Amino acid sequence: MNKKKKIPTIHLKSGSPLGEALKKMVEHKRLRERYWVGEISLVELNQLLKEKGINKQYEPTVAL
Amino acid sequence: MNQQLPYSFRQQGNSYRFQTDKGVYYNVEFSEGSFYFTAFPAYLSIFEFSISVITLGDNITPPLDHRVESTVVSILEFFLSNHENSIIYTCETLDNRQKARHRKFDMWFNQNLQAIPDLEKHDAFITYEDLEIISSLIVHRRNPHKDELVKIFFDQVDEFNKGE
């Protein structure tokens, strides 16, 4: 039988390494989505990643 | 129990791509967590997991296709066959659909449990500054750092918070 699982809530303190990591992860995700929908260029994506301290740079997509 | 035949997928580095028979192209990507988890020990192999649609084909939205979920689960299993890898998945909050996304992912995972008996998923609703996210840690039962990863995920590792 399927039981509804309760998800624990965690409130992270300011400056928490886990919080900072998750914040960067979400920022990266949002920027990547803006690139995918054509809102920003690849150059802008890489620039914004750099500005946010995310050490990831994208290369032009290889044809599928 | 949902046991649909997975689509075949193609690996390119840490990206896995597959095309459905309805012409939708998906990309499943594992990004190195070292971009984010800079404060954690380097031996912890943490990856971010994301699923995206590359092309919709002739569809306006991705059509319901249970083979997509079994393919994603197969890719997860394949990626975690290296037991040291672990995955953190976050559900976006921008459009307030994070609960629906989490439920969907949870359902995919649970319906395919038979195929992935060695994977564990831990979930948490995390608030940090103005961020509210539902996040999951997926780890292999035989990952030698499993207990440490679970503690970190539930923010129970005090030494990382010292010096604030």
pLDDT score recorded for residue B21: 94
Question: Which residues from A are below 8 Å from B39, CB to CB?
Answer: 17, 20-21
CB–CB contact A8 B124 (8 Å): yes
pLDDT score recorded for residue B94: 62
Instruction: Tell me, yes or no, if A30 comes closer than 8 A to chain B by beta carbon.
Output: yes
Question: Which residues from B are below 8 Å from A25, CB to CB?
Answer: 36, 48, 88, 90
Instruction: Tell me, yes or no, if B118 comes closer than 8 A to chain A by beta carbon.
Output: no
Chain segment B49-67, per-residue pLDDT in tens: 888 888 898 988 889 898 9
Mean of pLDDT over chain B: 84
pTM for the model stands at 0.80
Instruction: Tell me, yes or no, if B1 comes closer than 8 A to chain A by beta carbon.
Output: no
pLDDT score recorded for residue B164: 39
Question: Which residues from B are below 8 Å from A7, CB to CB?
Answer: 102, 123-125, 134
pLDDT score recorded for residue B92: 66
- Looking at chain A, which residue has its C-alpha nearest residue B131? A23
Rg (chain A; Cα; Å): 17
Question: Which residues from A are below 8 Å from B91, CB to CB?
Answer: none
Q: How far is B151 from chain A (nearest CA, A)?
A: 11
Chain segment B72-120, per-residue pLDDT in tens: 988 988 898 888 889 998 876 666 677 777 888 888 787 777 777 888 9
pLDDT score recorded for residue B18: 96
pLDDT score recorded for residue B95: 65
Confidence category of residue A61, pLDDT binned at 50, 70, 90: low
Task: Provide the ipTM.
Answer: 0.78
* DSSP string of chain B, one letter each residue: ---PPPPP-EEETTEEEEE-TTS-EEEEEEEEGGGT-TTS-TTSEEEEEEEEEEE-TT-SSPPP-HHHHHHHHHHHHHHTTSTTEEEEEEE--TTS-HHHHHHHHHHHHHHTGGG-TTEEEEEEEEEETTEEEEEEEEEETT-TTHHHHHHHHTT--GGGGTT-
